[in-house]
């Protein structure tokens, strides 16, 4: 459904949302272990997330990654769009160039509703929302 990269990115951003802030930064290697992602890989993903303003960072000693208030308010779909690209959600389900609402492909026809709903939900929930669910014991991050 989502690529490994996207899953890793979501996990990293969630971890940062739960454990970091502007005065409490976390190094790439210290994020990698708890979310079970290769350190070098998560480092590369984090760089991309920093470039696109989804995560904040400071170099040098006492530096690291963290989530600012603005970062926390970004929507879940923003992370997915940066890593997997928008077409993943908006593109035709059969990759037909000429597929659209007026002339939908057969899959579009039957899946359009649930897909729209999916996009809506990802658009409505911020990273902070997901983190809050974890804090409240309504969602979990095991292993």
Partner DNA sequence: GAAATAATATGATAAAAATCATATTTAGGA
Partner DNA sequence: TCCTAAATATGATTTTTATCATATTATTTC
Residues of this chain that bind DNA (CB under 7 A)? 3-5, 8, 25-29, 37-41, 43-44, 46-47, 50-51, 57-65
Nearer to DNA, 84 or 129 (CB): 84
Q: Are 50 and 96 in contact (CB under 8 A)?
A: no
Would you put residue 21 in left (φ > 0), alpha (ψ -120 to 50) or beta? Answer: beta
Determine if 136 is a binding residue for its own copies (CB under 8 A). Answer: no
Token pair listed for 24: 């409490």
| In the complex, minimum distance from the CB of residue 20 to DNA, in angstroms, rounded to a whole number | 10
Select the span of 24-32, 38-46, 56-64, 107-115 touching its own copies (CB under 8 A).
Answer: 107-115
Which of the 8 DSSP states describes residue 137? T
Select the span of 42-50, 51-59, 65-73, 111-119 touching its own copies (CB under 8 A).
Answer: 111-119
User: What angle (nearest 5°) sits at the alpha carbon of residue 18, between those of residues 118 and 55?
Assistant: 70
Helices 4-19 & 127-135 angle (0-180, nearest 10): 60
Determine if 75 is a binding residue for its own copies (CB under 8 A). Answer: no
Q: Are 66 and 25 in contact (CB under 8 A)?
A: yes
Residues that bind its own copies (CB under 8 A): 1-2, 4, 7, 10-11, 14, 76, 88-89, 91, 93-99, 103-111, 113-115, 117-118, 121-122, 125, 130-131, 133-134, 138-143
């Amino acid at each position: 459904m989502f690529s490994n990269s996207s899953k890793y990115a979501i996990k990293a951003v969630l971890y940062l949302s739960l454990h970091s802030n502007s005065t409490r930064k976390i190094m790439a290697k210290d994020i990698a272990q708890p979310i079970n992602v290769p350190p070098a890989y998560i480092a590369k993903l984090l760089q991309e997330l920093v470039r696109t303003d989804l995560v904040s960072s400071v170099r040098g000693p006492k530096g690291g990654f963290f989530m600012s208030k603005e970062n926390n308010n970004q929507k879940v779909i923003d992370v997915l769009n940066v890593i997997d690209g928008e077409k993943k959600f908006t593109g035709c389900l059969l990759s037909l160039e000429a597929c659209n609402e007026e002339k939908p492909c057969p899959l579009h026809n039957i899946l359009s509703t649930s897909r729209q709903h999916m996009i809506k939900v990802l658009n409505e929930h911020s990273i902070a929302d997901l983190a809050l669910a974890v804090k409240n014991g309504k969602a979990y991050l095991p292993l």
